[in-house]
Structure 1
Amino acid sequence: MKIHFVGHACIVAECSDTSILMDPWLSGKIFNNSWTLRPEPALDPALLDRIDYLWISHEHPDHCHFPTLGSFPDSFKQRVTILFQTRDSAKILAAFKGLGYQHFRLLPHREIVPLTGETASTRGTKVYCYHAGLMDSALAVIDNQQVILNANDARISTSECRLILKDVGHVDVLLNQFSLAAYAGFEPPERYLPERALQVLRNVSEVHRALDAKVTIPFASFIYFSSEDNKYVNPFANTVGDAYNYLQRQGQTAAVLYPGDDYEVGSAHDSSQALQRYAALPGWDELPYDPLETKPLSDIFDAYRAMSQQINERYPRALLMLLRPVTIRIPDLDKTVEFSLASGQIAEAQESYQPDLSINSQPLWFGFKFPFGIQTLGVSARFKLHQNFRNWKMHRILFSLNNGGVYLKPKYVLTADFMNYVRSRLAGGMTQAVHYYRTSL
């Protein structure tokens, strides 16, 4: 097999009898205009003619970027088959159909699925999907006894690695995310961000070791934080050179690819030229940043009330009563507000209150406006956390469940779909939940 690196989390796995394009994001800003590609991807349009399958790992826009997916030629959309996990697939497939895609194949959790052979035991390219967390997934591509595992930014634990190895046998190439992709907002950032960045590198090495991977390709971190209120993260981010050197110090092999580069599975690879090209990119101070956008308090209140109504319809009141109110300082409006999911209320608070968080008006409005908004707030690192971390973390878990379609009122829980979901995730589910709780931001 050959891996062609397009950019960020996008690769093409070129197999003996088919080719799979994965997670394309080719242009534009994402996560509420908070991330920008660095460097720009490189996709030869002629390559699209050789693509038979398009795998999307999960719905985050640096992996499922609808403007990119919509920009592909109609002939491509009519010909390729989209591969996606079975879980929570209805809304995603509806969106793909709206863009003009016609062929889909859903991948179950922890099953080897033949793409070109008749069965999992016959020759031909096969894929294996591991559903991770509430929405993520990893994909193994198996061809001629070679295995590449695209972990994208799924935080796979070492115990999950053992499950994957049990299922696929071995891993020749691991593709893994290597830098900061979110921040919990702890103050001051210079105290917390260096350790968080090092933790990411440790995880890359641990997963490499747990999978006994022959090579890790660092990817899915080729962005910069590009708003005025999150650019403080950039100086603490890991470079691809940091990831390469860290793995080398652990006695592990890494291969660095620049957009447009190829890697032949099983062959030696010289990373020096790619590392030089990354090192020559403009520094953080030379990059453009978006100014702050302001939203009126009335818009924030309207977005909150609509979101709160949905939460109260989907989750038991007894659960919501466990959450204390949250106080937020809005610096650009010079206002302080307090909201309570238990009561569904939001109101201005006295400025003398010590706030739990500081968030500017537009990212706060965005957080309330969309089901994925609070997750975006964490990914974009556009807030500061002052106190009551545990209460805010429990809110974030609830918002993540809501975005993932995991509703806990009896009318949602006591359904065949929910029970099948729970049953399919029992193996490794508890250890995965503990791992996500410990490492979540």
Structure 2
Amino acid sequence: MQVTSVGHAGFRIDTRAGSILCDPWVNPAYFASWFPFPDNSTLDWDAIGDCDYLYVSHLHKDHFDPENLRAHVNKDAVVLLPDFPVPDLRRELEKLGFHRFFETTDSVKHTVSGPKGELDVMIIALRAPADGPIGDSGLIVDDGETVAFNMNDARPVDLDVVHADFGQVDVHMLQYSGAIWYPMVYDMPERAKTAFGTQKRQRQMDRCRQYISQVGATWVIPSAGPPCFLDPELRHLNDDHGDPANIFPDQMVFLQQMRSHGHNGGLLMIPGSTADFTGTQLNSLTHPLPDDEVEAIFTTGKADYIAAYAERMALVLAAEKSRWAPAEGEPLLELLRARFEPIMIQSDQICDGIGYPVELRLGKETVVLDFPKRVVREPVPDEKFRYGFAIAPELVRTVLRDEEPDWVNTIFLSTRFRAWRVGGYNEYLYTFFKCLTDERIAYADGWFAEAHDDTATIELDGYRMQRRCPHLKADLSKFGVVEGTTLTCNLHGWQWNLENGRCLTSKGHELRCEKI
């Protein structure tokens, strides 16, 4: 099996039974805030796209690049389709001309047959509202000699099925770096922002190491990050100035952490790097540049590399910005009322879960999303808010113009906004912003309406508690960490007070627990 990095979470997996192209992203994403790092724009995308199978893990724009798929990827390729509850991914691929689909069943091993032979594959589909109804997924491939698990930025809850169906995993690709806007965009004291950023940087790498331990692969390829920020307004977000609170560490940083914890099977790959495996044996690893130049991209020359990259992409960035809608136009109050109120009316669980009005400062206008009353309105004098956002009106007008169903993976991941809140994170609020279609909101509201299974019990560091995390049902025997009287689920970093079971991250989500 030959694995070639094509940048970020993208890989081409070549086997005797055919080639699979995974998540080929090259064009800037999220209002041109994110670019692949290192630069992958000079790869031969026509050759890369001449594949037998296509796998797009989910619809986030650093994985689903419609422009690249339309221009360069073989439309006769068989699409390995994750088992998502909402068919948005298939619809988007059909619009691009793909017409051959192999529909998988979540966490079930399948054999796909083509003119070159047979491959065993499994797609683990994540379908909780935190992943968005468009979902997330990971792909396992077995060509008879080598097993590769491309987890990209998915966070599977239960990995026992992988070993049950495939045995030893030889190669594991997974995310280790940040893909979020917290804490950078929040209005808070710099000291607090630094503390939260430092904590988040370490937790995301701890979570990655936990997955590596569970999968137990011989070789690990850190992937799916970090993004590169080339806009002068966002350049400070790159981890190129020794900031321990930066949530976007690069591959070299994580490989050093792996080695410090006794794992020497990490592989550094850049776009164009190719690794050849036979089972657990690494036959070769080649890069498109000399080894010292590859290392310099991440170490001594990183700031210069990003500066040169930004200069090369200046016209691309300008062209992306020229597509944004004008800042002025019809009052946003009326546009948002027409867009949001029909969704609010359908979403009792989510609106009640949000529980209070939310402020949107949109340039000269301020709009209130009154979730308890299911209306969009103007603010009243001296009104106070527990949650608010300041967003440039041109960004809001663009997503409204394009009928974008997901603000989280457009506006929010762009980091081109500010936020403030009183109290903890509100999962329901961000779920609402991911689910701006009838299908998505119906699925998400129904998911919240179902009772979580908390009947199984475990013992952990002196406490007896429910086995499944109240957030997304992760197995706390694997992801739970107790420090004093605080439990942290490292899957998403949520925390609970073990003295009373209260969730410290978001309201609700109480944990059944007691001291032994």
Aligned to 1:128: 122
1:359 to 390, 413, 425: 390
SS in structure 2 at match of 1:305: helix
- Of all paired residues, the percent bearing the same amino acid is 18
Give the counterpart letter for 1:250 in structure 2: H
Matches within 5 A, 1:295-314: 295-296=327-328, 298-314=330-346
Tell whether the 8 Å contact from 1:258 to 1:277 is kept in structure 2 after alignment: no
Q: Distance in 1 between matches of 2:306 and 2:423?
A: 30
SS in structure 2 at match of 1:371: coil
Kindly provide the CA deviation profile for residues 74-126 of structure 1, in whole angstroms up to 9, marking residues without a partner as x.
xx21x3111111324633323322222221111110111112389xxxx8321
Q: Distance in 2 between matches of 1:239 and 1:141?
A: 26
Q: Distance in 1 between matches of 2:419 and 2:22?
A: 35
Aligned residues: 418
Is 1:399 equivalent to 2:401 in the alignment? no
Q: Distance in 2 between matches of 1:3 and 1:404?
A: 40
SS in structure 2 at match of 1:191: helix
Tell me: CA distance 1:86–1:264, structure 2 relative to 1, closer, same or farther (3 Å): same
Matches within 5 A, 1:146-225: 146-157=146-157, 160-184=158-182, 185-186=185-186, 187=188, 188=190, 189-225=193-229
Question: Which fold has the larger relative contact order, with Cα–Cα distance below 8 Å and residues 6 or more apart in sequence?
Answer: 1
Aligned to 2:357: 325
Q: How far off is 1:59 after superposition?
A: 0.7
Tell me: CA distance 1:115–1:89, structure 2 relative to 1, closer, same or farther (3 Å): farther
Q: Distance in 2 between matches of 1:403 and 1:242?
A: 39
Aligned to 2:137: 137
Q: Larger deviation: 137-146 or 123-132?
A: 123-132
Instruction: Identify unmatched segments of 5+ residues in structure 1.
Output: 423-427
Tell me: CA distance 1:431–1:356, structure 2 relative to 1, closer, same or farther (3 Å): closer
Q: Distance in 2 between matches of 1:138 and 1:404?
A: 26
Aligned to 1:37: 36
Give the counterpart letter for 2:368 in structure 1: E
Aligned to 1:425: none
Q: Distance in 1 between matches of 2:6 and 2:438?
A: 28
Q: How far off is 1:395 after superposition?
A: 0.7
Give the counterpart letter for 1:238 in structure 2: P
Is 1:103 equivalent to 2:69 in the alignment? no
Q: How far off is 1:379 after superposition?
A: 2.0
SS in structure 1 at match of 2:156: coil
Matches within 5 A, 1:223-238: 223-227=227-231, 230-235=234-239, 236=246, 237-238=248-249
Q: How far off is 1:354 after superposition?
A: 6.6
Aligned to 2:295: 275
Tell me: CA distance 1:114–1:390, structure 2 relative to 1, closer, same or farther (3 Å): same
Is 1:341 equivalent to 2:371 in the alignment? yes
TM-score by length of 1: 0.82
Aligned to 1:254: 266
Tell me: CA distance 1:328–1:349, structure 2 relative to 1, closer, same or farther (3 Å): farther
Aligned to 2:276: 264
Q: Distance in 1 between matches of 2:238 and 2:423?
A: 23
Q: CA RMSD in A?
A: 3.7
Q: Larger deviation: 124-133 or 275-284?
A: 275-284
Q: How far off is 1:264 after superposition?
A: 1.4
Instruction: Identify unmatched segments of 5+ residues in structure 2.
Output: 240-245, 454-467, 475-488, 495-504, 507-516
Q: Distance in 1 between matches of 2:70 and 2:469?
A: 35
Aligned to 1:57: 57
Give the counterpart letter for 1:262 in structure 2: T
Tell me: CA distance 1:335–1:228, structure 2 relative to 1, closer, same or farther (3 Å): farther
Give the counterpart letter for 1:166 in structure 2: A
Tell whether the 8 Å contact from 1:314 to 1:409 is kept in structure 2 after alignment: no
TM-score by length of 2: 0.71
Give the counterpart letter for 2:266 in structure 1: A
Q: Distance in 2 between matches of 1:251 and 1:303?
A: 55
Q: Distance in 1 between matches of 2:123 and 2:386?
A: 42
Aligned to 1:70: 70
Kindly provide the CA deviation profile for residues 307-352 of structure 1, in whole angstroms up to 9, marking residues without a partner as x.
3133134323x6524420012344xx25544221333123145588
Give the counterpart letter for 1:173 in structure 2: V
Q: Larger deviation: 304-313 or 2-11?
A: 304-313
Matches within 5 A, 1:287-302: 287=310, 295-296=327-328, 298-302=330-334
SS in structure 1 at match of 2:38: coil
